[in-house]
């Protein structure tokens, strides 16, 4: 009888260990993806028109994050990207454009081409188009 009791206790112990391992693995996958903070600032001709931080999952497109932060007027040119036309209800005169700066550096790509992988500062500035003759 002691052998039966010992075998049963051993089986229960092994089952408990196996179940514990499954619970630990499942709880790790339920934590969700990592998050990143995205700070948006837009400065129009009359000063700052937007300062807002949103939290997004890492891997989020910066344009999608911007749409969470504010109202964006834009034209989507497909593969060529997004042309931001207005931010927070402010449209620039035709002699200006929205200059994009990411983490203090002028961006070489448009906002639709940026993926958020870490805390990021995205700024737009009203810039005059040099040599524009309307």
Average pLDDT (30-55) is: 91
Distance of CA 102 to the CA centre of its chain: 13
| Residue 61 sits in the same domain as residue 121 | yes
Range of the domain at 107: 35-128
Tokens linked to 8:
């049963």
Full-model pTM = 0.74
Q: What strands lie across the sheet with 96-102, from one edge to the other?
A: 47-57, 35-44, 120-128, 96-102, 105-106
Encoded tokens for 119:
């805390």
Please check whether residues 52 and 65 belong to one and the same domain.
Answer: yes
> Looking at 8-12, 23-27, 55-59, 112-116, which range is the least confident one?
23-27
Residues 50 and 27 in one domain: no
pLDDT exceeds 80 at position 26: no
Phi and psi for 133 in degrees, rounded to 5? -125, 105
Asked if the model's pLDDT at residue 74 lies above 60, the reply is: yes
CATH code, 69: 2.170.130.30
How much of the chain exceeds pLDDT 90, in percent?
71
pLDDT at residue 134, as a whole number: 65
* Residue 1 in this model has a pLDDT that exceeds 60: no
Mean pLDDT score of the chain? 83
In this structure, the answer to whether residues 12 and 61 fall within a common structural domain is no
């Amino acid at each position: 009888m002691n052998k039966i009791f010992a075998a049963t206790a051993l089986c229960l112990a092994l089952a408990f260990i196996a179940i514990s391992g499954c619970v630990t693995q499942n709880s790790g996958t339920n934590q969700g993806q990592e998050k990143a903070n995205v700070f948006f600032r837009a400065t129009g001709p009359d000063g700052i028109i937007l300062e807002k931080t949103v939290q997004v999952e890492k891997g989020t497109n910066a344009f999608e994050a911007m749409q969470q932060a504010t109202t964006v007027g834009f034209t989507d040119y497909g593969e060529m990207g997004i042309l931001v036309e207005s931010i927070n209800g402010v449209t620039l005169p035709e002699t200006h454009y929205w200059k994009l700066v990411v983490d203090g550096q002028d961006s070489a790509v448009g906002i639709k081409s940026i993926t958020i992988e870490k805390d990021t500062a995205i700024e737009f500035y009203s810039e005059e188009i040099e040599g524009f003759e309307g």
